[in-house]
Amino acid sequence: MLMKLNQYPAAIAQAAQTVNELDSQLAAVQLGINRLEGNADKIAAFESDLKNDNQRKARRFEVLQVNLEYQQTLNTLMRLTAERAHAVVHLEYLRNQFSVAKLETRLAIARQLAGSESLELVGV
């Protein structure tokens, strides 16, 4: 869909806003992941039968693997990351279309000016 030149700034602003909203959602999801991982670390840290860091890391991994909320949050993170990537591509596409539209407009103006100067040169 081709837009008029004056429609691009609003479309670009909207696309940038979409990227910003996705960034905000990603930050919130990352905070949730950090919270869940912190809880798993706490569980592993206070289990007295774990003797070393490797056992605590393994226990942390086990706790996270069975945590349905953690798995859902990771899925949300992957989905939002993909959405953000698509939104950034769309934003760049709009910016590039805008640049091309501006260049085409300049070229049309230059051709008009060149055409009128050519007519003046031949005395029309």
* Calpha distance 121→5 (Å, rounded): 32
pTM metric for this prediction: 0.80
* Calpha distance 114→108 (Å, rounded): 10
* Calpha distance 25→5 (Å, rounded): 31
Per-residue pLDDT of the chain (124 residues; tens, 9 = 90+): 678 999 999 999 999 999 999 999 999 999 999 999 999 999 998 888 988 999 999 999 999 999 999 999 999 999 999 999 999 999 999 999 999 999 999 998 888 888 776 656 555 5
